Structure formats: C-alpha cells, structure tokens
C-alpha cells in the first residue's frame, strides 16, 4: 500500500467538518495554509496556461491568426455591448440599501448591462447560426 491522497483529504475534511471550536488557532492556520497553497497552485496553472498558449501561437501561425480573430470578435461584441449599455439605476424593493452603501454605482450598472447585452448578442448569434446550418443542410 502506498500513500493515498484521498485518505489525507478525508481526514482533513472530517476534522474541519466536525470540529466544534471554530476559533481554534490550529484550524485557522491549516485553513490559511491551504488557502495559500491553493493560490499558489492557481497562479502556477495560469502561468502554465498562458505559456502554453504563447508557445502554440509562436509555433503555428494559423492558430495565432485564428486566435487573434476570435479575440478581436470578442472585443467587438464587448465594445458594442458597452456602447449600447445604460447606467440607469434599477428600481426594485431593497435596491436603496446597495445604492446607499456604494455597492451599486453607475459604473457597476454599466458593466452589468454590458454583460447582459453581450450574453444576448452571443445567444442570438448562436441561435441564428444553428438555424442557418440546419436550413442550408436541408436545401443541399
């Protein structure tokens, strides 16, 4: 038998789940250590992902060209969405709490609206492309 990380995870999970003392400094240090480790792993995976993408773009020009076109298309959708977006504050029950504490500002509303409009544009484009593909296949 060798070391199985599943057992280690299970032991940690049971300890954290059933520990009655939430102010235990040992538990807090373990949580802090695990969070730091997860941040390190996240940063490492992002670095590897970006490095691999750059390597692929440098080694194959066609991939780089397609990637640049896709990035430009996404940028265009975001730009159109931003230009169409409104920064008007919503009016619903309870919104004044978020406006008063500064959580909801005109800038935040502009970006929320941008995200919604971009989603609608992508959804509409997807539906139109599916319909076009079906009709063109049917007519052939």
**pLDDT tens readout for residues 78-95:** 999 999 999 888 888 888
Give the C-alpha separation, 35 to 30, whole Å: 9
In this structure, are 76 and 51 located in the same domain? no
- For the chain, the average pLDDT equals 82
Number of compact structural domains in the chain:
2
Average pLDDT over residues 9-25: 54
In this structure, are 133 and 81 located in the same domain? yes
Which of 130, 109, 134, 121 has its CA nearest to residue 73?
Answer: 121
Residue ending a domain, choose from 44, 59, 74: 59
User: Can you give the pLDDT at residue 34?
Assistant: 77
In this structure, are 64 and 53 located in the same domain? no
Residue ending a domain, choose from 59, 80, 109: 59
Average pLDDT over residues 90-117: 88
Structural domain boundaries enclosing 88: 60-140
Identify whether the C-beta of residue 81 lies closer than 8 Å to the C-beta of residue 121.
yes
Give the C-alpha separation, 64 to 77, whole Å: 20
The overall pTM is greater than 0.85: no
pLDDT bracket for residue 1 (50, 70, 90): very low
């Amino acid at each position: 038998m060798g070391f199985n990380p599943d057992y280690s995870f299970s032991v940690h999970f049971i300890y954290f789940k059933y520990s009655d003392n939430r102010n235990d400094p040992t538990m807090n240090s373990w949580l802090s250590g695990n969070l730091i480790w997860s941040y390190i792993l996240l940063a490492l995976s992002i670095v590897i992902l970006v490095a691999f993408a750059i390597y692929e773009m440098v080694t194959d020009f066609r991939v780089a060209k397609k990637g640049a076109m896709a990035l430009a298309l996404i940028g265009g959708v975001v730009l159109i969405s931003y230009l169409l977006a409104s920064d008007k504050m919503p009016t619903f029950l309870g919104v004044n709490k978020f406006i008063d504490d500064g959580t909801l500002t005109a800038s935040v509303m502009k970006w929320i609206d941008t995200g919604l409009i971009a989603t609608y544009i992508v959804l509409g484009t997807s539906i139109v492309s599916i319909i076009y593909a079906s009709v063109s296949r049917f007519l052939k």
